Amino acid sequence: MKNILVIGAGRFGLYTCSALHDMGHQIMLVDKNEDRINQVLPYVTNAQIGDSTDEAFMKSLGIRNYDLCIVAIGDDFMSSLETTYLLHELGAEKVVSRVTSGSQEKFLLRNGADAVVFPERQLGAWTAIRYSSDAISNYIEVMDGYSIFELNVPKEWDNLPVGTINARNKYGINILGVKNGKMEMNITGDTVLHFGQTMLVLGKTQEIQKMFSL
């Protein structure tokens, strides 16, 4: 369980707090708008109405006590920039800020953000990959060009053991799981694949897309 500060109670802040709540984290929410805070209250441990660009107010929050600070401000870039910079100056352990453009990303990374989140770009990429092929059931980008796909088992792999397919050496992918009603993650060389099942595969995004003609 982590102690997390979320600044901004808009839609992005709401969904972020809801997910963090489900994961069991302690959440402090900050926003200038009381009505927006009230909408998110069921998902947070504590909340304060205040201006995140006000240094005195931010100092009162004890920024160093948080494991993670998330700047979820999306409609006022200057406030987001000032808030990100203040968090860094006040000794925040880790600052993640929302951005809505590539230029904002550069500014925030240069002024205190340890990482940025670009929801529209990330969701757009996910949507394009997920729904551009009927063979894809799900998809998540892991890091550095690698992704996990949930894909239909190809017809040519029907009734073949994983060891015979030798996907890691031949294609550079790892078969992590097979789903037939429920997901089976205990994959060995003797695990037999069947057409009609789906499988979880890990590898370079472009190589997986090329291999399965996605």
Q: Does the pTM of the predicted model rise above 0.75?
A: no
> Are 47 and 106 part of one and the same domain?
yes
Same domain, 7 and 111: yes
Burial zone of 9 (CB within 10 Å; 0-12 exposed, 13-18 middle, 19+ buried): buried
Which residues, given as ranges, of the chain have pLDDT below 50?
Answer: none
Kindly report the number of other CB atoms within 10 A of residue 71's CB atom.
Answer: 31
3-state SS, residue 70: strand
Last residue in a domain, options 72, 87, 117: 117
Could you tell me if 54 and 81 lie in one domain? Answer: yes
Are 86 and 110 within one domain?
Answer: yes
* pLDDT given at position 214: 54
- 10 with 112, same domain? yes
pLDDT digits over 18-60, tens only? 999 999 999 999 999 999 999 999 999 999 999 999 999 999 9
Domain end (from 91, 117, 143):
117
- Residue 97 and residue 138 in one domain: no
Task: Note the Cα 80 to chain centre separation in Å.
Answer: 20
How far is the C-alpha of 158 from the C-alpha of 189, rounded, in Å?
15
Confidence at residue 88, expressed as pLDDT on a 0 to 100 scale: 96
Q: Provide the pLDDT for residue 48.
A: 95
Residues 74 and 96 in one domain: yes
Residues 199, 143 share a domain: yes
Q: Do 162 and 111 sit in the same domain of this protein?
A: no
Identity of the amino acid at 117: V
Helix (H) or strand (E) segment spanning residue 110: helix 102-110
Structural domain boundaries enclosing 12: 3-117
Q: Are 109 and 130 contained in the same domain?
A: no
Mean pLDDT of the chain, nearest integer = 89
CA triplet 53, 57, 62: central angle to 5 degrees?
Answer: 110
Residue 7 and residue 93 share a domain:
yes
pLDDT of residue 28: 97
The CATH number of the domain where 138 resides is what? 3.30.70.1450
Q: What is the CATH number of the domain that holds 49?
A: 3.40.50.720
Which of 58, 89, 117 terminates a domain? The answer is 117
Query: Do 113 and 183 belong to one domain?
Result: no
Separation CA 26–CA 156 (nearest Å):
49
Question: What is the pLDDT, as a whole number, of residue 25?
Answer: 94
What's the number of domains the chain is made of?
A: 2
